[in-house]
Chains A and B, each alone.
Chain A
Amino acid sequence: MKPEDKLDKGLEDKIDDLVTKKGVTRRDFMKFCGLMAATLGLEASFVPKIARAIASAPRPPVVWLQFAECTGCTEALLRTADPFIDDLLLEKVSSEYHETIMAAAGDHATACLDSAVSQYAGQFLCFVEGAVPTASGGIYGMIGNKTMLQIAREVLPQAKAVVCVGTCASFGGLPAAAGGLTGARGVRDATGISTVNMPGCPPNAVNIAALIVNYLLNNQLPGTDRYGRPNFAYGNKVHSQCPRRGTDWCLKGFGCKGPMAVHNCPSVKYNGGTSWCVQADAPCKNCTTPGFWDSMTPFFDYSGSY
C-alpha cells in the first residue's frame, strides 16, 4: 500500500463522524467500501481511496429525469439494503432535481431544474429513467407543458455526462416493445447524445452506487461495451457465474436465458445480497439486452423439464 493510500488523521475523523451520525460501525463503512471496490473490479488497495472519496469528495450536482417509466429504477436505488446508499443519494451527490423525492412541486420544481442546468452547465451528472416517446412530436409524454423529447434535447447537452438507468432509458425497453404506439426510444437513439447505459429491469442499485463511487474517485465514468454498458457490471455471462450451472437445479430446461445474458446478478444479487431471480427458481429473462421484451419471449419453456 502506498503511503497516500493509508487513512490520514483528517480522513479518520471524517469517517468517524460519518459512521457516528449513521449509528453504524466503522467496520460497516469499510465493508461497504470493499463491496464497491469488488463490484468495480478494483484491487483491495483502492478501498482507502474509496473511503476518502465517499467521506470527503465535494457533492457533484445530479439531475435525475423521468420519462416513460414505471419508477422501478428509482425504487431500486431507494430500496437497496446498504446504509450508505442513502448517503450517496442525499449527501454525497446533490440531487438537484428528482421528481420522486423532491420537496418542490409544479413551477417551483421546474425552477429547480432550470437553475441546476444553468448553474451547473457542463458539470452536472444527468441520470435518465424511462424511454423517450418520439411519435407525433413527442406528445405521448409531457411534463410542465413540454414534451419529454424537448426536455431531453434541452437538458442533456448541458450535462457533463448522461447515465441511462434501466433498460427503457438505455434501449427503449417496455414502451418500445412490439405493438407500442408511442415511438418510444432509448435516450441515445432519441437524441443522438452519447450515454452510459445501466440496463436491467430494474438495474442493480449496487452497480449504480459503484458508478457514482467511481465518479467520485476518478471524476469520470467507467469503460463500456458496444451497447454503452459498463464492463465492471456487464462484462460476464450470467450463466458462467451461476451457482446452479451444471447442477440438477439448473433452469436451462425451463427457458432460462442466463447463457445469453450479461450482468453480475449471481455475485451481487439484489436487496442487499438477499437473492436474485434464479435463486428464487425464476429463469433469467436477459433483461439487460436491447429488445429483450421481444427477443427473449416467451420467458418460460413450459414444455421443458425442470
Chain B
Amino acid sequence: MSEIVKDFTIESYLEYIRNKKLMGSKCKDCGETYVPVRKLCTKCNTANMEWVEMSGKGKVAAFTSITVGTPFFVEKGYGRNKPYCFSVIKLDEGPMVSGQLVGVDESKPETISVDMPVKVKFLETEIKGETRVDLGFEPA
C-alpha cells in the first residue's frame, strides 16, 4: 500500500519540519519547486504537486543580527548582549526560505557574509514541557 500523500498545506509543511525534514512541493507540470509548500503553481496555474525533500544546503542571500527581538526570542534569552541572526537562505534547489542562522558570531555581524554556504539545522526549544522545532541554518 502506498503512503497517503499529505495535503499541500502549511500544517503538513510544519509537521515535516517538526519531524526534521525540509520538504517542498514540485509542480509535476512545469517542475517549479516551492518551499515553503504551495498547492497552486503560480507559474502554470495548476494544482498538480508532489512532495520533494530539500538537501538542506544553500547560501545566505541576506541576513541581519537583531538586538531588539521578538517576544519568543527574548524568552529564549536573546537581547542587547546576545543578538541573534535572522537570515534569508537561497537553497541549492532554487527557492528561498527564512530561518535563524546559528553557529556564527552574531555580535560581530561584519564576519557574516552574503553568499556564505550553509546547511540546515533544526532548532529545538523546550516550551512548557514540549519540544518545538524551528527551521534554522548553520555554516556548512
**Are A and B co-members of a single complex?**
no
Q: Which residues of A contact B (CB under 8 A)?
A: none
B residues with CB within 8 A of A: none
